[in-house]
Structure 1
Amino acid sequence: MRKLLVTGAAAAAVASGVLMAPPAEAAGAVQIYRVYYDSPGSDRGSNKSLNGEWVQLFNTSRSSKSMKGVKVRDKTGYTYTFGSFTLKGRKSVYIHTGKGSNTATHRYWGRKWYVWNNTGDTAYLLYPNGRVADKCSWGRTGSSKYC
């Protein structure tokens, strides 16, 4: 018969009858890495300018993560929702504001005007059920924010 040696906090949890749940899988895996909220040049609404505005998500895990139903949203409520998409382990995906052809590393919101406010905003990464998985805020200075 094998015996299990339990020490430290785990022993205290077992002794008290409290079971610790594992952390939510996506909470520590896919995160907002960077937001480029002020695209280069004048904000005239060209597709090139719109696509200069983006959110970069990074999968910190070695395993692929399904992004189906995951959302990226700003304070105002503008929301991008992933369809059938898998983010490979240790890889990034960029969500551009404008139009383009989706690939494994670049997704396109298809909007005709800007989402991210240059004077301050917050990007939210939401689980399909609406709970916040991650967020990143910025103020009036700069053109991008590492989160």
Structure 2
Amino acid sequence: MVVGLAVATLVATATPASATEYSSALKIQGVQYNAPGSDDNRCVGGNTSQEYLTIKNYSKTATVNLRGYLVKDAVGNSFKFTADHHLQPGDYVRLRGGNGNDSDGNNVVYRDNCNFIWNNTGDSIYLYKPSGAGADSHSYKPARDDADGNGYVTFH
């Protein structure tokens, strides 16, 4: 009984409390919620582009087009993929803050917004399909989820 309780406690604490699993090929792999250095959201010379969300295609066979997918945080800041960006099976994209050139080859899309979106003290991240259905969501708290303090949390 004690072993069963210990295992149940370990399982319960290893998974963020507000993670929701959906049947979706696309998942939020992780988030660099705290850009290295002092936060500076100037479009030129700032470090907004060092904050990013990694979205991965976990399908073994299907290519997924990100056009129409929506990313939001807890207070409603959002980004909608308006251009074609194809993720092959196992491929990923980093959705970065700031401005830059979107590139399938370099696995990057820029939000074209120099404000930080992910809170350094914790936040919730929601990924929605073009239909509006949930694809994935996670919440993070640095004290709970970022043991090494590097500003990056892995979900999948």
Give the TM-score taking structure 1 as reference length: 0.77
Q: How does 1:1-147 map to 2 (within 5 A)?
A: 27-47=23-43, 48-62=46-60, 63-83=62-82, 84-104=84-104, 105-141=107-143, 142=149, 143-147=151-155
Q: Which structure 2 residue ranges, 5 or more long, are not aligned?
A: 1-21, 144-148
Question: Which amino acid is 1:123 matched to?
Answer: I
Q: Contact 2:50/2:96 (CA < 8 Å) preserved in 1?
A: yes
Q: Which structure 1 residue ranges, 5 or more long, are not aligned?
A: 1-25
Alpha-carbon distance, 1:102 to partner = 0.1
State the distance in 2 between where 1:103 and 1:27 align.
27
Alpha-carbon distance, 1:133 to partner = 1.1
**Per-residue deviation, residues 103-146 of structure 1 (Å, max 9, x unmatched):** 01100001121110000101111112322210121114331110
Max Rg structure: 1
**Per-residue deviation, residues 79-99 of structure 1 (Å, max 9, x unmatched):** 111122211111010000111
State the distance in 2 between where 1:137 and 1:68 align.
24
Bigger shift: 125-134 or 113-122?
125-134
Question: Which amino acid is 2:97 matched to?
Answer: T
Q: How many aligned residue pairs are there?
A: 122
State the distance in 2 between where 1:118 and 1:144 align.
10
Structure 1 consecutive aligned stretches of length 4 or more whose deviation exceeds 3 Å: none
Alpha-carbon distance, 1:61 to partner = 1.1
1:28 is paired with a residue whose SS is coil
1:51 is paired with a residue whose SS is helix
Name the % identity: 29
State the superposition RMSD in angstroms. 1.6
Alpha-carbon distance, 1:28 to partner = 3.2
